[in-house]
Chain A
Amino acid sequence: MSKILTVSPSPHISSDLSVPKLMYGVVLSLIPAFIVTVYMFGLGALVITAVSVVSCVLAEMIIQRYIMDAPVRIRDGSAIVTGILLAFNLPSNLPWWMVVIGAVFAIGVGKMTYGGLGNNPFNPALVGRVFLLISFPVQMTSWPLPGASRFHYLDATTGATPLGFLKEALRNGQTVPEVMNQIPDHMQLFLGQMGGSMGEISALALILGFAWMLYKKIITWHIPVIMVGTIFAFTGILYLIDPTRNASPLFHILTGGVMLGAIYMATDLVTSPMTKKGMILYAAGIGVITVVIRKFGAYPEGVSFAILIMNAFVPLINKYIKPKRFGEEVKNG
């Protein structure tokens, strides 16, 4: 036999899983949420998503080629995911140049300064979002009303998000039941009829994406379910203590970025823990911090900050939360 055979150690087969497959899987799962945001916010949603994705991919390419002198890996799809998720965390009337700044910050500072994909401790899209929130607080908290101005981008009709409206009203001495009549009901919130960041409005669309990612085994249920569950339980306790000062737990999980954060931001493979037990601890931590910020903080919303704070604990969680080994504790009946 003249031919040289390949000799390599086992295993000799590998699954068809790959990083691009995971990333494009996430992109596909975002389609329902994208359709809802385009339906509600129209032109602005299209412009911002396009600007964000193109800026993220270009920023990554330029940094890899000209600054790091490293192989260009934009085809792995991770910059596209960051671009879409950053856009989904912005209001649809943000000036396009602010989106570019956010994208460059997200990729440059959030990802490439640590060495690129796999090495960044913080979720890049959230790094970009929080940077924009701090730099441009006015533009970042002006929210187009859903369905009100589909053909206007910068001069869209704006209003408060349900969470912002509630926080302001409570500050002015109103009670929760008084406020509830003036904002969308739970079914409207569930479908996405509310002001807010582009991708966060429709819990239904996000849950569809979640189901698809579970089916494709891109993520596991642990982080989303535990995070939403913790927020539900914690706000539920507050609601039972004083329903005039605290909104219902269902209101809390349907508003703000809870669903988007739980399904897409907290589950980022790179910045979440490695073990199931670690994921549970991490997700519960995000839930608790989110509620604390919503209840006591200056911002009406707390998901982004909560995720970034828990991102910082992930190395510690990975170090101390170990999987249970086979045969470690022997309880044989």
Chain B
Amino acid sequence: MFKTFHKGGVHPPENKLSAGRPVEPFPVPATVAILLSQHMGAPAKAIVEKGAAVKTGQLIAKGEGFLSGNIHSSVTGKVSRIEAVTDASGYKRQAVFIEAVADEWFDDINTDTLLDKEIKLNAAEIINKINESGIVGLGGATFPSHVKLSVPRGKKADFLIVNGVECEPYLTADHALMLEKPGEIMVGIEILKKALGVTQAHIGIEANKPDAIALMQKFASEYTGVKVHPLKVKYPQGGEKQLIKAITGREVPSGGLPVDVGVVAFNVGTVFAVYEAVQKNKPLIERVVTVTGKNIKNPANFRVRLGTPVAGLIEAAGGLSENTGKIIMGGPMMGKALAIADIPVVKGTSGILLLQDDEASRNKPQPCVRCGKCVAVCPMGLEPYLLMPLSQKNEFDRLESEHIMDCMECGSCSYICPSARPLLDFVRSGKNNVGKIIRSRKKQ
């Protein structure tokens, strides 16, 4: 019996259409639009001006906020303009547009693909390098990695957890990366262990990726203190708190961080980026993106330069079909629906998913039959059937005392509801309002 987390969860059809496709390098596009906001915190500040010539991997914007990250050019060329572009959320955000001319890499970035196992930097230097390289969590949350590695005073990490779960249906980017770069991921793990001062690392991978489990186990056996945990297939196991529970049995306290229970967790994509940054001096300028959907002719895993337009990726995978109803950046459970396809790939883009017309529309909501399935599937132990009407009625005190802020927005409640009620829509808006109230209370 595989390990898993025990509270709630759902099992949507997996549809991993691009599983088994290798990681293909995607051609460098003619123009990239590099968003200044590719991390959790405040936007980075551009340090190049219109007309500037930049090389691949050159720093173009500095992350100055606490949860910000540096941003580098993903191509070699000329900054054509710095202006707002529509991002995945539908808002306009500042981006640096670069017209590519060649692909010349900046200074001493090492572009060879030889596996470099020897870790020369010390812990502080590693964290600094990761900060400089603009590495954020590639699982989608885009939390800056150097912040995670700077364990607060008085707290201690016992071990590292590596997230190779990839529990979202359709997505295979992490799976493909594990098959392609197991050696690099292992060195990345050693680097992170050194930075955290821990000796143990646990890799969680869901049982629907037996080839990745076997390969990672084989590579892990060359190292001490690295263990692969095959996990039962269940969404949202890739949620940090659920993964930690599944592997260690430890429960991150409500409102707390993983380090409160002695754990720091990184996505495998992030671990690979750490390897490249520390061993090859290469900043985060590209990532693996799954392009998939039932009507996509050639579902693929591409290695994509940041700033590449989504429309280009879709074209390369066979193009939009007549009956495409929805384009999603990310997975079908937590991804964002795009209004237009001309949106640049960012650090948090794990996949592009096309749904057909009949899959894209929601069913009409019916009255709640009080079946309790939303309560049963909630991984955080909340009661969505109750939160939705409280949110509709703006009962913010009640929402707070019902712990709405614990919601991780995994969507299991809306997914399971037999009456097609948009539970998460209302929980999200309630969370937004309660969050504002909590923040204003703190300021007083």
Q: A residues engaging B (CB < 8 A)?
A: 1, 3, 5-15, 17-19, 21-22, 73, 76, 78, 116-119, 220, 269-276, 322-328, 330-333
A residues in contact with B261, CB < 8 Å = 330, 332
Known: A19-B419, A273-B372, A327-B241. A14 touches B250 (CB 8 A): no
Give the distance to chain B from A111, nearest Cβ to Cβ, in Å.
Answer: 12
Please name the residue on chain A nearest to B327 by beta carbon: A5
Known: A6-B337, A7-B339, A10-B333. A326 touches B375 (CB 8 A): no
A275:B370 contact, CB within 8 angstroms: no
Q: How far is the CA of A14 from the CA of B362 in the complex (A)?
A: 8
Please name the residue on chain B nearest to A314 by beta carbon: B370
Q: B residues engaging A (CB < 8 A)?
A: 7, 10, 12, 90, 169, 241, 245, 249-256, 261-262, 320, 324-328, 330, 332-341, 353, 355, 359-363, 366-373, 375-376, 378-383, 385, 403, 406, 409, 411-412, 414-420, 422, 424-425, 428
* 16 A–B contacts, CB within 8 A, in A order: A5-B340, A6-B360, A12-B332, A12-B353, A15-B12, A17-B416, A19-B366, A118-B369, A276-B376, A323-B381, A325-B380, A325-B406, A326-B254, A327-B251, A327-B380, A330-B261
Give the distance to chain A from B55, nearest Cβ to Cβ, in Å.
Answer: 34
**Contacting residue for A11 out of B327, B333, B366, B419, CB 8 A:** B333
A275:B337 contact, CB within 8 angstroms: no
Interface SS of chain B: helix, strand, loop or mixed? loop
B residues in contact with A332, CB < 8 Å = 250-251, 261-262
B residues in contact with A21, CB < 8 Å = 418
A274:B370 contact, CB within 8 angstroms: yes
B383:A323 contact, CB within 8 angstroms: yes
Q: How far is the CA of A302 from the CA of B297 in the complex (A)?
A: 63
A326:B251 contact, CB within 8 angstroms: yes
Known: A10-B424, A270-B369, A274-B375. A325 touches B254 (CB 8 A): yes
B370:A322 contact, CB within 8 angstroms: no
Known: A1-B341, A5-B340, A118-B368. 13 other contacts (CB 8 A): A8-B326, A8-B337, A9-B425, A12-B333, A12-B359, A13-B169, A15-B415, A19-B418, A323-B381, A326-B380, A326-B381, A330-B253, A332-B251
B333:A22 contact, CB within 8 angstroms: no
A12:B337 contact, CB within 8 angstroms: yes
Q: How far is the CA of A19 from the CA of B419 in the complex (A)?
A: 6
A10:B326 contact, CB within 8 angstroms: no
Give the distance to chain B from A220, nearest Cβ to Cβ, in Å.
Answer: 8
A5:B367 contact, CB within 8 angstroms: no
A residues in contact with B367, CB < 8 Å = 116-119
A6:B254 contact, CB within 8 angstroms: no
A residues in contact with B385, CB < 8 Å = 274
Q: How far is the CA of A10 from the CA of B423 in the complex (A)?
A: 11
**Contacting residue for A328 out of B360, B381, B424, CB 8 A:** B381
Q: How far is the CA of A322 from the CA of B380 in the complex (A)?
A: 12
Please name the residue on chain A nearest to B6 by beta carbon: A326
A8:B362 contact, CB within 8 angstroms: yes
A10:B369 contact, CB within 8 angstroms: no
**Contacting residue for B383 out of A6, A322, A326, CB 8 A:** A322
Q: How far is the CA of A14 from the CA of B370 in the complex (A)?
A: 18
A19:B369 contact, CB within 8 angstroms: yes
Please name the 6 residue pairs, one residue from A and one from B, whose CB atoms are nearest each other, closest first: A11-B411, A325-B381, A274-B372, A269-B371, A327-B254, A6-B360
Please name the residue on chain A nearest to B382 by beta carbon: A325
Q: How far is the CA of A213 from the CA of B391 in the complex (A)?
A: 33
A residues in contact with B380, CB < 8 Å = 325-327
B325:A5 contact, CB within 8 angstroms: yes
A residues in contact with B406, CB < 8 Å = 325-327
A323:B375 contact, CB within 8 angstroms: yes
**Contacting residue for B249 out of A13, A19, A333, CB 8 A:** A333
A residues in contact with B320, CB < 8 Å = 1
Known: A12-B326, A14-B415, A274-B370. A7 touches B251 (CB 8 A): no
Known: A15-B416, A18-B418. A6 touches B325 (CB 8 A): yes
Q: How far is the CA of A273 from the CA of B385 in the complex (A)?
A: 12
Give the distance to chain B from A216, nearest Cβ to Cβ, in Å.
Answer: 12
A residues in contact with B336, CB < 8 Å = 10
B332:A13 contact, CB within 8 angstroms: yes
B372:A275 contact, CB within 8 angstroms: yes
A residues in contact with B378, CB < 8 Å = 323
B419:A7 contact, CB within 8 angstroms: no
B363:A326 contact, CB within 8 angstroms: no
Q: How far is the CA of A224 from the CA of B419 in the complex (A)?
A: 24
B355:A12 contact, CB within 8 angstroms: yes
Please name the residue on chain B nearest to A270 by beta carbon: B370
A328:B341 contact, CB within 8 angstroms: no
A residues in contact with B334, CB < 8 Å = 10-11
A326:B7 contact, CB within 8 angstroms: yes
Q: How far is the CA of A332 from the CA of B361 in the complex (A)?
A: 43
B residues in contact with A12, CB < 8 Å = 326, 328, 332-333, 335, 337, 353, 355, 359-360
Known: A13-B332, A270-B370. A6 touches B361 (CB 8 A): yes
Give the distance to chain B from A37, nearest Cβ to Cβ, in Å.
Answer: 27
B residues in contact with A323, CB < 8 Å = 375, 378, 381-383
B residues in contact with A11, CB < 8 Å = 332-334, 411-412, 414-415, 424
A17:B338 contact, CB within 8 angstroms: no
**Contacting residue for A269 out of B328, B337, B370, CB 8 A:** B370
